[in-house]
């Protein structure tokens, strides 16, 4: 089968290539999926480049494991291993691979544990379904951590990106009053997602606004924490959701500063984690089928152009998501 793989770290154009590799074999609990579409996320950029360098301690010092890129997936079940309940060949599924347990989704076929898959929402195309798992689950987890509810004011920085465009829709569905921060070209997109207010960062510094917010979701990490903290209500929460930072430690110093500020002040400033599970995907499916969440796909790239897709995401300013189709 064809797969996009790498044998060293570097820029996508330098290290990624389409190769012929064996179709993955199944173990107990595994599902083999014929990939139709796979989302491109900032995590794929970090895995390809090996930056921040601290990631290599977990992923591999010289090359990432597995060699095939891609985590999000949507496709059709081809075969199932022993002890796999709920799935059979022909089922349309979607999900997010778990590091070390999957073979990568920028390929014709991918192997995933059944515990990170769910049946594809009927109202989504395969491209939309392949785009949403990581960002949808991350956005939902962020709003859970912050306990977002009716009447709260939520500020989403990076509102037109992957996690941001999902968070805007889900926060609106929860009854929050949402303000989104984005670039000029994406203002109408964010407004169309349901945001009550949209800040064009090219024209306005959001940290100079008089409004105060119960929750801030920062997906870009370009504004100082002390300035963001001034935007919070007295007991407000600032969630840090960006892997960007220094070449070695990445976001860790920013997270550490946030922890210190939380200790000495009334606000909560913290990162959060998300691990994909079938149960969470089923909830996500319910939100999608209800109309509360609809993924936006800016562009689909063929498998042979996966490196260009990752470069596109690395450059920022994607409106919604980019996918690779196999």
The tens digit of pLDDT for each residue in 198-240 reads 999 999 999 999 999 999 999 999 999 999 999 999 999 999 9
Q: Which long-range contacts (CB under 8 A, 24 or more apart) does 23-26 make?
A: 23/109, 24/103, 24/109, 24/110, 24/111, 25/111, 26/79, 26/80, 26/81, 26/111
C-alpha 142/C-alpha 293 separation (Å) is 15
pLDDT at 90: 98
pLDDT at 53: 87
Per domain, the residue ranges of the chain are 2-132+295-325, 134-271
pLDDT at 264: 85
In the structure, what pLDDT confidence band is assigned to residue 43 with cuts at 50, 70 and 90? very high
pLDDT above 90: percentage of residues in the chain? 85
Per CATH, domain 134-271 is 3.40.50.720: yes
Q: Which sign does the torsion angle of CA 256, 258, 262, 264 carry?
A: positive
Q: What is the pLDDT of residues 290-308, one digit of tens each?
A: 999 999 999 999 999 999 9
Nearest to 90 by CA among 142, 45, 32: 32
pLDDT at 281: 98
Nearest to 33 by CA among 85, 107, 83: 107
Q: What is the pLDDT of residues 229-276, one digit of tens each?
A: 999 999 999 999 988 888 888 888 898 898 898 888 899 999 998 999
- The token duo for 113 is 């544990």
Residues 6 or more apart in contact with residue 196 via CB below 8 angstroms: 177, 178, 179
Per CATH, domain 2-132+295-325 is 3.40.50.300: no
Q: What is the pLDDT of residues 62-89, one digit of tens each?
A: 888 889 999 999 999 999 999 999 999 9
Q: Are 50 and 64 in contact (CB under 8 A)?
A: yes
Q: What is the pLDDT of residues 88-137, one digit of tens each?
A: 999 999 999 976 678 899 999 999 999 999 999 999 999 999 999 999 99
Q: How far is CA 255 from the centre of its chain?
A: 19
C-alpha 47/C-alpha 310 separation (Å) is 11
C-alpha 158/C-alpha 190 separation (Å) is 10
Fold match flag (2-132+295-325 vs 134-271)? no
CA 183, 272, 174 angle in degrees (round to 5)?
65
pLDDT above 70: percentage of residues in the chain? 99
């Amino acid at each position: 089968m064809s797969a996009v793989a790498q044998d060293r770290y570097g820029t996508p154009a330098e290290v990624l290539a389409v190769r012929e590799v064996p179709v993955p074999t199944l173990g107990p609990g595994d599902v083999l999926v014929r990939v139709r579409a796979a989302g491109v996320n900032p995590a794929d950029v970090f895995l390809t480049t090996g930056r921040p360098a601290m990631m290599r301690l977990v992923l591999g010092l010289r090359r990432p494991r597995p060699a095939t890129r891609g985590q999000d997936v949507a496709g059709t079940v081809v075969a199932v291993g022993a002890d796999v309940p709920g799935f059979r060949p022909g089922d349309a599924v979607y999900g997010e691979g778990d590091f070390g347990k999957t073979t990568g989704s920028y390929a014709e076929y991918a192997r995933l544990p059944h515990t990170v898959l769910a049946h594809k929402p009927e109202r989504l195309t395969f491209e939309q379904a392949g785009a949403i798992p990581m960002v949808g689950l991350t956005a939902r987890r962020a709003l859970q951590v912050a306990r977002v509810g009716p009447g709260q004011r939520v500020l989403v920085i990076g509102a037109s990106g992957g996690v941001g465009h999902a968070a805007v829709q889900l926060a609106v569905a929860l009854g929050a009053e949402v303000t989104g921060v984005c670039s000029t070209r994406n203002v109408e997109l964010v407004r169309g997602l349901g945001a009550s207010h949209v800040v064009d960062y090219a024209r306005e510094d959001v940290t100079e606004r008089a409004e105060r917010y119960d929750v801030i979701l920062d997906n870009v990490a370009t504004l100082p924490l002390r300035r963001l903290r001034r935007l919070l209500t007295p007991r407000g929460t600032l969630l840090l959701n960006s892997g960007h930072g220094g070449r070695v430690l990445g976001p860790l110093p920013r997270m550490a500063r946030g922890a210190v500020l939380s200790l000495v002040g009334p606000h909560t400033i913290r990162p959060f984690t998300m691990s994909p599970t079938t149960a969470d995907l089923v909830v996500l499916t319910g939100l999608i089928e209800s109309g509360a969440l609809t993924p936006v796909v800016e562009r689909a790239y063929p498998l042979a152009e996966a490196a260009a897709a990752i470069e596109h995401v690395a450059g920022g300013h994607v409106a919604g998501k980019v996918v690779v189709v196999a």
